[in-house]
Structures are given as structure tokens and as C-alpha cells.
Amino acid sequence: METKQYPIKWQKRFAFFDTYGAPKTPEHKAAIKQQPYFARFLIMFNFFAYFFGPIYFAIVGLWKKALILLAISLCITMLFATIELIIGREFPRPVWTAISLGVSFMWGFTANYAYYLKKVKGLDGWNPFEGFSLY
């Protein structure tokens, strides 16, 4: 697929993913470590997705993945709220801040590769972690 109609930053991201594959591949992991810090962050992280999560995903057409990530986000929040109820004490504010940051990073780190899969590869599945590994 021709990517010239996309902004330069997306062309760079698409070219990187085309060349080195999914984030879980050894080639990708080795190549991303060779990039300067800002370039690495530009390829792997999306600030708009970090700050606006489901809204950003819906706007760029990744609504299926947005629904799954939103469900995961809600489940994480409900899990910790339930734990609070069971133990009868509230978690300190920093715990909730850490949970919120973790959920936001989940949105930010999955956005670019998910968008690449949709626009370049034509894959629009429900799995927001497609191409990622847990380690």
C-alpha cells in the first residue's frame, strides 16, 4: 500500500514496521534499540492515544480495538475497586495514579502498530495486542 498520503511521522512509522516487523519480533527489538530515544518514542508511542484513549482510537477507525481496551481498562479499575471494598480500606492516591498511568500507557503503546495493521496491512481485528508479546 502507498503511504505517501500520510504525514511524514506516519510514513516513518510504517516504514519501520514494514522493515522490521511486529514489536514482538527479534528484528524489531534489535532495531528499535538502535534508534535514538526520540525516534524510538515516535515509533512506539502515541501521545494522542495516551491522553485521549478510546476517543483517539474511535476517530482513527480502530473502534474494535477501542472497545476491547476500554473493557480491559474498566476491568482493571473494577478489580482494584473491589479489592478496596474487600479489605475495607482505600488505596493511597499514588496507587490509583499508577493504575491510571499504566492504563494510559497501554493505550499509547498499542496505537501506532494497530493503526499500521489497519492502514497498511488491511487487518482490522479485535485483538489490540496483535504483534506484541508479554516479555
Q: What does the pLDDT look like over 69-122, one tens digit per residue?
A: 999 999 999 999 999 999 999 999 999 999 999 999 999 999 999 999 999 999
Pick the closest to residue 117 from 32, 60, 78 (CA basis): 60
Q: How far apart are alpha carbons 13 and 131 in whole angstroms?
A: 15
Classified as helix, coil or strand, 6 is coil
- Mean pLDDT value across the chain: 93
Instruction: Tell me, yes or no, whether 34 lies in a domain.
Output: yes
In a domain, 59, yes or no: yes
Q: pLDDT tier at 5 (50, 70, 90 boundaries)?
A: confident
Answer yes or no: is 130 within a domain: no
Overall domain count for the chain: 1
Cα–Cα distance measured from residue 63 to residue 43, given in angstroms and rounded to the nearest whole number: 21
- Per-residue pLDDT tens digits for 30-40: 999 999 999 99
Using the Cα atoms of residue 30, residue 36, residue 102 and residue 107 in order, give the sign of their dihedral: negative
